[in-house]
Chain A
């Protein structure tokens, strides 16, 4: 087995006097999906922010494909972010430019990772556009005209087009209609299985985590209170907070 593509050790982030996350450690290998659950303010987005190179740790480190990300700054950091990491956020407008076309959003990322040649780029973007099952003929339409579910698909296409080592998903289906949510989850699950891309999924929805993640971290007040194989943590929760979380789930 090769080494982890994402290594997080003793990760600590302080926002002034408040603690964003405290001594969080985990590894994600190729083909694995790690879930992070916890209520808002638990630090899960802070951890994801450090993995996505948006935030700088106050302590500890993040390694991407064996490379320490702490010293990587400026253009090099942007390049690492474009090549090594794909990000899908709850709010599509944070990752996409809504006024430009779906194809443009996808191509933009390819250009940022150093792809050249109009036809090669267009072909590749088209392939990924089709792979995320977006409607044919809408590739040149502005993302602003797309529905919420379609915007998530554009985000996924943009994130995966450069074949990153790690895909980070921050509440990827939150706020979508239930039926749209299910189809986006199926797409993510299918793409993960086909490509073997390592993923970190942050969600407050245990059903999303159960479907996607093989391993799970439960966070509270910036700390990991419980971790393990997903079905073990969810069927035999040991920490009082995890027990509360699992018992609070509304069964459908």
Chain B
């Protein structure tokens, strides 16, 4: 599904005299359909940067990020902007810890905006554990955990074959965490590829297939 080859990324800060900092060096990584790969490593090791490169939020210095799509292989490191937007809509979802949508629109509307029927949105929010009485309300009034469920629902609304998950359970209590992880496992079992970062490696049977450790922007041995 996803093949990353020779991926390198650095930042050049022109406000500090053009000082350049490498965050990823020569990363090779594969994620197959129906596989969940988890990235671990100290903070600053490049885990989030790797996800952002795949999603196209960061430009890359070198390397290829090949994604299998029904219309052929797309190199996410080189696709034109318009194509990247289309690929995100159809093929790649990303969830972070931050609500990236206007908090004043109701939860169910935010999900249906993804192009799915309201009944479907309601079912998804219910599966993720958001109480029905909150579906029609705007996330502005929600707790951090409830907001996060909306975030996850938006990314899961369309059946996107690749999901990038950046510490998505950090703000959830134990019960909610387990519900969300179960939904993720179901998606994985039905063929979705997951590339994830967890604050704490979850002990959820059947979810994680492979753990890759990053250190100083380089991939260490696979566990």
Contact = CB atoms under 8 A, between A and B. Distances in A.
Interface of A: 29, 32, 182-183, 185-186, 189-190, 193, 211, 214-215, 228-229, 231-232, 235-236, 238-240, 243-244, 247
B57 A236 contact: yes
B57 A244 contact: no
Contact of B57 (A193, A215, A231, A247): A231
A239 to B, nearest CB: 8
B104 A228 contact: no
Nearest to A246: B15
B56 interface: yes
Contact of A236 (B58, B105, B113): B58
Interface in B53-89: 56-59, 81-82, 84-85
Given A29-B82, A229-B84, A236-B58, 16 more contacts: A185-B102, A186-B102, A189-B102, A193-B113, A214-B85, A229-B85, A231-B57, A232-B59, A235-B52, A235-B57, A235-B58, A238-B12, A239-B14, A243-B13, A243-B14, A243-B15
Question: Which 3 residue pairs spanning A and B have beta carbons closest together?
Answer: A240-B14, A236-B58, A235-B57
Contacts of B113: 193
Nearest to B103: A182
Contacts of B52: 235-236
B15 A247 contact: yes
Contacts of A29: 82
- Give the contact-size bracket for chain B: 10 to 19
A243 B13 CA distance: 8
17 contacts: A29-B82, A32-B82, A182-B104, A183-B104, A186-B104, A190-B105, A215-B85, A229-B81, A229-B84, A232-B57, A235-B58, A236-B11, A236-B57, A238-B12, A239-B14, A240-B15, A243-B15
A231 B82 CA distance: 13
A232 B58 CA distance: 6
A41 to B, nearest CB: 21
A197 to B, nearest CB: 16
A23 B48 CA distance: 37
A31 B81 CA distance: 15
The secondary structure that dominates the A interface is helix
Nearest to A215: B81
A60 B82 CA distance: 23
A232 B56 contact: yes
A97 B54 CA distance: 50
A186 B113 CA distance: 13
Contacts of B85: 214-215, 229
B81 A186 contact: no
A229 B57 CA distance: 8
Identify which of B52, B58, B81 gathers the most chain A CB atoms within 10 Å of its CB. B81
A79 B56 CA distance: 41
A186 B81 CA distance: 25
B59 A238 contact: yes
Given A186-B104, A193-B113, A244 B58 contact: no
A228 B58 contact: no
Nearest to B104: A186
Contacts of A235: 52, 57-58
Nearest to A239: B14
Interface in B149-201: none
A7 to B, nearest CB: 14
Contacts of B11: 236
Contacts of A189: 102
Contact of B59 (A182, A215, A236): A236
Nearest to A244: B15
A186 B58 CA distance: 27
A84 B221 CA distance: 59
Nearest to A214: B85
A228 to B, nearest CB: 6
Interface string B102-132: 1011000000010000000000000000000
Contacts of B14: 239-240, 243
A125 to B, nearest CB: 26
A32 B85 CA distance: 10
